[in-house]
Chain A
């Protein structure tokens, strides 16, 4: 049996306590260990992605127990892609946090960061829905610590709101799992996928309740209307590198919807047919609208980026809500894009905000490197808004191309196009206020003589943002190979029989 599959969970799990207990007083050592762990994680996830390319569904049975009885980890193209995305994003964010010194403004940043990675990777790899709950809790408890990292009044209050929201979500998750177990007698995803289609539609009311409860839980994570309200306050008040890492957390919710509502409550299951897509579609259209209006109306830069993340989740979920392989391919492409676009915006905003001293959108006399920051912000904003030449344009194009069903098409196209226009307006306003109007303001150096000007950003501070932006450019340049890969990924996701057979096949090696 291959032990590589569990490594993305075990590796951070070993480094985190080591950093937390042994290296707690030595930030240099902690940084070195954290970077080492993340680089190793990236290497392992590249290895796993290469392993998954063959299209097989690789299974890791914990304790070698056969599937419905023991917990399994499942590595297919989708989970390999998500783990790779997590590791790449984590490395970018970690370098930024170290270069800007965010990690030293409070305690235990690196230990919590590793625990967060453990939870995220575990959630992507697990093939058991209760285990998914446990990994959700791990990533959440680490995110609570990261969210309030370095403290402060607004951050603590926003953190409390975030914790309460997610604890309520966890309780709902347990109710959903209880309902699901009571009606099927199993919590293994593949086993559920076998049993739920056997339940006739007229007896499936409990299953339908469980399906919708699970969707609400995942919607809380994915910041979908009507449970999106926690996101802007959380992202705006979290430390910026943490907010950039949280770009993958909303994708955990989207991934869970994709996995559970495709494999378990699939499109052709009699009991839950049409349930997920009808509700998901309406909710994501509203989410796009909320995101766009929020971007236009935001008074603070961080809040504005938070709302743009809400809007991008809406676009992503409108593609997922079709539950067809073509639309899922588009959704996956847009998922990779929007993760890096949101992270990129938060990282550049961090560089700007720390030098301006406030993230309120009003002209302040320019500080250092106005041109460089303006260019980076411009690049990230056009990526997020979905303008050519970066991958946001191709992503939205793919999503719209996949949603050609009459009835859905008008709403989806309208929401995405108008939402993009409004987002562009919002970002244009923010960018011109921050970088353009400010150049017209007189620099009153007589008053500020006592205050030294902020330091220019070093190459290491700017590098993570540039790398994230380069990833988006690469995603646009290599859109052809990327979509071919993602087409195979979504084909594998929709091959429910293949997934079930791979997970539940008798364990021949024991």
Chain B
């Protein structure tokens, strides 16, 4: 199971980083989504991998249990990354409609009016 989880995280991260480096809005949104999936699985694994164990102590405290904290962390991370993706889609759409281009890379100094002939 370890090899499956580890390679899932690896493949998702690699795909996410590749898409992120495309520097086009849609690819970057997908890339960040993949990265957030990767990090969610990774956070799960940080509490050790376990099967058939309850995430809480039972009432006698004698059963084996798995760490509940990473699950709470993953829940928080999912909520935040979901909200952030929604914000990113809206801003990406706004930027595309304003600029007519979905490129993300901009040069801070190369402004249109810097090359304009002097008045």
Contact = CB atoms under 8 A, between A and B. Distances in A.
Interface of A: 130, 134, 137, 141, 144, 148, 151-154, 156-161, 163-164, 167-168, 170-171, 174-175, 177-179, 181-182, 185, 232-233, 236, 297-300, 303, 306, 358, 360, 362, 364
A303 B107 CA distance: 11
Interface in B1-55: 16, 20, 25, 28, 32, 35-36, 38-39, 42-43, 45-48
A313 B63 CA distance: 52
Contacts of B58: none
A360 B111 contact: yes
B44 to A, nearest CB: 9
Nearest to B32: A167
Contact of A181 (B69, B91, B99, B116): B69
A160 B46 contact: no
B91 A303 contact: no
Nearest to A141: B87
Interface in B75-119: 76-77, 80-81, 83-84, 87-88, 91-92, 94-95, 98-99, 103-109, 111, 113-114, 116, 118-119
Contacts of B70: 178, 181
Among B99, B103, B111, find the residue whose CB has the most chain A CB atoms closer than 10 A. B111
B106 A157 contact: yes
A171 B77 CA distance: 9
B80 A168 contact: no
B73 interface: yes
B108 A181 contact: no
Given A299-B109, A299-B114, A360-B111, A144 B98 contact: no
- For chain B, what secondary structure do more than half of its interface residues adopt (helix, strand, loop), or is it mixed? helix
A300 B114 contact: yes
Given A144-B91, A174-B43, A164 B111 contact: no
A161 B107 CA distance: 11
Nearest to B92: A160
Nearest to B39: A174
A175 B39 contact: yes
Nearest to B16: A171
Given A174-B77, A181-B46, A303-B108, A360 B95 contact: no
Given A130-B73, A175-B39, 19 more contacts: A134-B76, A144-B87, A148-B94, A156-B94, A156-B95, A156-B98, A158-B106, A161-B105, A161-B106, A164-B104, A171-B36, A171-B39, A175-B42, A178-B39, A178-B70, A182-B46, A358-B113, A360-B113, A360-B116
A358 B103 CA distance: 24
Contacts, number: 117
B114 A153 contact: no
A349 to B, nearest CB: 15
Contacts of A300: 109, 111, 114
Contact of A148 (B45, B91, B119): B91
Contacts of B87: 141, 144, 163
A144 B88 CA distance: 9
Interface residues of B, number: 46
A236 B88 contact: no
Residue among A158, A164, A233, A300 with most chain B CB within 10 A:
A164
16 contacts: A148-B94, A156-B94, A160-B91, A160-B104, A161-B106, A170-B84, A171-B81, A174-B42, A175-B42, A179-B46, A181-B47, A182-B46, A297-B109, A303-B108, A303-B109, A360-B111
B80 A157 contact: no
Contacts of B94: 148, 151, 156
Contact of A168 (B32, B83, B92, B103): B32
Contacts of A164: 20, 28, 32, 88, 104
A236 B106 CA distance: 12
Contacts of A141: 83-84, 87
Contacts of B95: 156-157, 159-160
Contacts of A233: 106-108
Given A160-B104, A181-B73, A137 B111 contact: no
Given A160-B104, A168-B20, A360 B114 contact: yes
Given A152-B98, A161-B105, A179-B46, A362 B69 contact: no
Q: Which of A177, A358, A364 has the most CB of B within 10 A?
A: A177
B57 to A, nearest CB: 13
Given A141-B87, A163-B88, A299-B114, A236 B108 contact: yes
Given A137-B84, A148-B94, A181-B73, A160 B25 contact: yes
Given A170-B84, A175-B42, A151 B98 contact: yes
